Amino acid sequence: MILEKGRPLRRTPAAQAAFYLWGGFTAAGTLAVFLALWQQASLWLGDLVLPPPLPVLQRAVAILGQFRLAEIPLTAARAAVGVGLALLLGIGSGLLAGYWKTLGLFCRPLISMLLGMPPIVWLVLALFWFGMGTGGVVFTITVTTLPLTFAAAMRGMLTIDAQLSEMLQAYQVPWTGRVRHLYLPHLLNQLLPAVSVAVGTGVKVALMAELLGAEDGMGARLAAARAMLDMQEVLAYVWIVLAMIFIVEYLIVEPLKILLMPWEQQTAFR
């Protein structure tokens, strides 16, 4: 912990944001090393097996230039709807299961079963139930990511400090104060990482579901590129997918952590 005259120095939001942006230089260095290794591997393996990074990035830029024709918005919308439903249903039911212990005991085996179910099994079932298209893709995303959010919400409620809760009740702190100072900080510590994992999982499952169970979307474009043995196209879409995940992670989730969980940022300076 950084001290000033023997006392902890509290970071302002601006200082926390500056520290967060400074971390981007580390990420840029890691990316540069990765691209260098990729370039060297391409020289060893050949362009057919692993194209160099520059042509792949140029192809990705060209695909982004045809944003709608590349069906990127369609895949993003499917992933957003699927993950949104998983967050709404998973967090809501998880909080209830954590609050009512009997419901939690009842749901725990079901969630364990859902967590252990491979996404491809849900996709096959979705093809039978919904056919090819958006319905099956959204269903597969939702049912795959819902257990993650449910488990995080239930664990958050189960690990609430009972003594702190009793103390707040003893001092007659209103329920709004209890939510703000006890429940919300503790639950955010569990939920925000789960949201990050759910978004990444949702995008990956969306691609897989479109690849095997849809005639449109980025996954279908990947299937077409695979059929044509176009590795540049495949890797270009991989870069675009990674960019989508990074945008959500570092421009939405991480800033939310800085704003809503400032105590977590303080540990970075210790």
Distance CA 84, CA 175 (A): 27
pLDDT, greater one: 95 or 160: 95
Q: What is the pLDDT of residues 158-210, one digit of tens each?
A: 888 777 777 877 777 787 877 777 888 888 888 988 998 999 999 999 999 99
What angle do helix axes 72-99 and 134-158 make, rounded to 10 degrees?
Answer: 30
- Which among 209, 203, 205, 211 is positioned nearest to 246, based on CA atoms? 203
- Which string of DSSP letters, residue by residue, matches 203-246? HHHHHHHHHHH-SSSHHHHHHHHHHTT-HHHHHHHHHHHHHHHH
Q: Is the pTM of this model over 0.95?
A: no
CATH topology for the 61-268 domain = MetI-like fold (1.10.3720)
Q: What is the pLDDT of residues 5-21, one digit of tens each?
A: 444 455 566 666 666 66
Distance CA 245, CA 256 (A): 15
Domain boundaries, the chain: 13-45, 61-268
Q: Is the pLDDT of residue 266 over 70?
A: no
Q: In angstroms, how far is the first alpha carbon of the chain from the final one?
A: 4
